[in-house]
Structures are given as C-alpha cells and as structure tokens.
Amino acid sequence: MSETTYPNYSPGLQGVIGGVTSISKITVEESRLEYRGYNVHDLASQGSFEETAYLLLKGELPNAAELAEFNKTLDSERSIPTEVITALKSCAKGTHPMDMLKAAYSVLSGFDPDYNADPTDHDANIRKAIRILAKAPTIVTAAYQISQGKEPIAPKAGLRTASNFLYMLHGSEQDDYTELVMDASLTLYAEHTYNASTFACRVCVATLSDIYSGIVTGIGTLKGPLHGGANEEAMAMLMEIGTPENAEPWLRDALATKKKIMGFGHREYKVGDGRAIYLTEVAKEIGRRKGNTKWGDIADIMEKIMREEKNIYPNVDFPAAYAYYLLGIPIELYTPIFVMARVSGWSAHAIEQLDNNRLIRPSCIYEGKLDLKYVPIQDR
C-alpha cells in the first residue's frame, strides 16, 4: 500500500506525533539523546544507572542523600517471592527468555503491596516502579539459571544493579571496571523516546490498566526481532567473521551482496548513534584489560570501512554485543538485559501517561467490502 493512495496515512506511523513527553528527546541532526535534558553520554560516563533511573522516575537527578536512600530502597526490594521462582520453574523447557520474564512479572504483580491502588495514584506508581526496577536483575538471572537446570542465586546486599546482576549470573563479584561497563550499558539502554515497546506500554496503561501490565506489554513488544535482539544478531555476525583478518573481506562481500550489516545505522540517527560513543570506548577497553582485543580489532576495521564507504556509523547495539560477550554474558541474555535497563524508561512513561491520561485510540482506513447482504446459512 503506497502512501499516495491515502495522503493522510503514514505506514508504521512514521513521522506521526503520538504524544507529548518530558522524559527524553532525540536531536536527530546532532545524534544526541537526552534524558530529561541531560546528555546520555554524560550520564553514562560520569554518573550511574541508579542516578539515571532516579532521574527518569522522579524527574530530577538525586543529591547524595537521595541517591543513598534510593539505593537502600532498591537493595531492600531485590528479592522475589518463591511463587515467582515456582512460576519460572513451571515454564516449558526451551521457553524463550522473554516469555519467562513476562510470566515472572505477571505473577509478581499480585504480590506488590500497592497492587490494589488506583492506577492513577502517582505515589503508588512510583513505589511500584522502584520494585519493578529492583527485581529486574533478580528475575533475569533467576530465569536464566532455571533454564540451565540450576538454582537461582539470591541477590547480595550492598551491591548495585549492575554488580548484583553479574554476581547472580556468575556466582561471584566482578572487578570494578567490569561493573562500570555493565552499568554504562544499562544507562544507555534505559530510555529511547516513543519506540515500539514504550508506545505499546503507554497504550496499555492508557486503558487504566496498571504498570505491571504495561511492563509485560513492553517485554512482549521488545521480544520481536524488529525491535529487540539487534545486539544478539550483531554478536552472531562478529562470531561469523571470527578474526580481524577476515573482517574486511567479509564486510566487502556483505556490502556487494547487500547483506544486512547488524549493529550499524539507526532509523533515528543520521550521523551516528551518540549512545555508541562511550560504550565503544569502554567495550574496547574491557577487551584490552582481559587480553582479548579480537572483537575490538574487528570492530575498528568494520567501523572504518562503513564510515568511508557508506557514511554509516555503529549504533549502541554493536559495542554492546562484544562488551557483553567479553563480560561472559550468554548471548540469549542480551535482550533480557535490555529489559533490565528499559523497565526504568517504560515505568517513567507509564507514570507520565497515567498522570494526565487519555485513552489512545487512533483511527484506521477501511479497505474491505461494504453493503453485503446477509445470506442465511442454509443458502450459502
């Protein structure tokens, strides 16, 4: 269907304004992403994921006392009920990790102390969002451990989001720089305006459903490969290339045969994804620290050729792919990690929607038949 057939129709709603928000903004010409006015590069390189989550949920960066209290609250809310563990263990063998997350949050919702609160109660929604955020790494790692036939590792008091995730995944605390890389990636993935999953989340809660339903909707939307999973596919591509020596011939053949190059280009950015700059820096540094520069060397070659030949730059999923691989994170967890970060953005949008709610109900163009006469079943 062409756009000229219906001049007021935009396939995929591209360019259509779906709402007003004060949560984040993409400046396309400068490839800059801001969370509530702060450049995400500064938040990732100078702050922490918890500061960013606080900013998204409460509207301002915390001072030292506020951040300490926020971290204390997160620390107290990380554990998940045994019923959630039971639900995860009840999932069929081979269940997609994202479906396990949907199941976990669906079961978890009824255990929230504010479960019966009015869906427009702002303070209750903030409390719910903090619990959703706190429990995310516990749910992600519990689902993974169970899928591997292992018992989940409980969260450790005193560890922040990134460090607790790595602890529950590996069974031991990681070094500071490893945690820094993980933390930066969470900040960079936390929010991204009216993307598909965020919009779906807002549509859900706009019916006066609750935040947990919005989160489950977001997870279901992110599961689709046209939205989530790009970092998984980028790592599969890097593994197919295999060595720095193979990078240029592989890429030139891919360009000649019009093969999709994963992790490059972005619909919202024309001169590079600003989120990728800092993550590329720390991803390559973690490789040097671990004595494995292969992935960074492949990346250097690909970035140079793509820039020179196509004027296309890497997006955030490209460095995230090999950064996570170097951190020993299984590839099937890359998209669940996206959830672990994005629940902060989804929650912020759900709260913003519910604070000034109007049901989201767009129009459509009907192309079917009209004025048909009903024929009794015995005559059909």
Q: What is the phi/psi pair of residue 264, to 5°?
A: -125, 140
266 is catalytic: yes
Q: Which pLDDT score is estimated for 226?
A: 85
3 has a pLDDT exceeding 70 = no
For residue 26, what are the β-bridge partners?
A: 33
Q: Are residues 162 and 261 in the same domain?
A: no
Q: Are residues 351 and 295 in the same domain?
A: no
Residue 142 lies in a domain: yes
Q: What is the pLDDT of residues 172-188, one digit of tens each?
A: 999 999 999 999 999 99
Give the pLDDT band (50/70/90) at residue 210.
Answer: very high
Q: What is the pLDDT of residues 331-359, one digit of tens each?
A: 999 999 999 999 999 999 999 999 999 99
Helix (H, G, I), strand (E, B) or coil at 260: coil
Q: Are residues 46 and 135 in the same domain?
A: yes
Q: Which pLDDT score is estimated for 4?
A: 64
Residue 379 lies in a domain: no
Q: Which residues 6+ apart lie within 8 Å of 96 measured at CB?
A: 223
The Cα–Cα gap between 324 and 51 comes to 22
Q: Which pLDDT score is estimated for 273?
A: 85
Q: What is the pLDDT of residues 89-109, one digit of tens each?
A: 999 999 999 999 999 999 999
Domain count for the chain, please give it: 2
Q: Are residues 203 and 57 in the same domain?
A: yes
The Cα–Cα gap between 319 and 264 comes to 10
How far apart are the two ends of the chain, measured CA to CA in Å? 32
Percent of the chain with pLDDT over 70: 99
82 has a pLDDT exceeding 70 = yes
Percent of the chain with pLDDT over 90: 89
Query: Can you give the CATH number for the domain in which 299 is found?
Result: 1.10.230.10
- pLDDT averaged over the chain? 95
What's the domain range around 44? 24-223+332-355
Nearest to 314 by CA among 288, 275, 286, 284: 275
Residue 203 lies in a domain: yes
Q: Which pLDDT score is estimated for 175?
A: 96
Q: Which pLDDT score is estimated for 92?
A: 97
Residue 138 lies in a domain: yes
Residue 279 lies in a domain: yes
- Record the pTM: 0.94
Q: Are residues 91 and 131 in the same domain?
A: yes
68 has a pLDDT exceeding 90 = yes
Q: Are residues 56 and 188 in the same domain?
A: yes
Q: Which pLDDT score is estimated for 188?
A: 97
Residue 361 lies in a domain: no
Q: Are residues 28 and 171 in the same domain?
A: yes
Nearest to 169 by CA among 340, 18, 376: 340
Catalytic residue among 75, 112, 192, 266: 266
The Cα–Cα gap between 83 and 159 comes to 24
Residue 374 lies in a domain: no
C-alpha Rg value of the chain to the nearest Å: 22
Burial grade of 375 (CB within 10 A; 0-12, 13-18, 19 or more): exposed
Give the pLDDT band (50/70/90) at residue 29.
Answer: confident
123 is catalytic: no
Residue 370 lies in a domain: no
Q: Are residues 120 and 195 in the same domain?
A: yes
User: Average pLDDT of 277-304?
Assistant: 97
Q: Are residues 143 and 191 in the same domain?
A: yes
Q: What is the pLDDT of residues 240-282, one digit of tens each?
A: 999 999 999 999 999 999 999 999 987 777 777 889 999 999 9
Burial grade of 276 (CB within 10 A; 0-12, 13-18, 19 or more): buried
Q: Are residues 204 and 75 in the same domain?
A: yes
190 has a pLDDT exceeding 70 = yes
Query: Can you give the CATH number for the domain in which 168 is found?
Result: 1.10.580.10
Helix (H, G, I), strand (E, B) or coil at 204: helix
User: Average pLDDT of 202-225?
Assistant: 97
Catalytic residue among 317, 349, 355, 379: 317
Query: What one-letter code names the amino acid at 317?
Result: D
Q: Which pLDDT score is estimated for 145?
A: 98
Q: Are residues 142 and 282 in the same domain?
A: no
Give the pLDDT band (50/70/90) at residue 30.
Answer: confident
Q: Are residues 321 and 349 in the same domain?
A: no
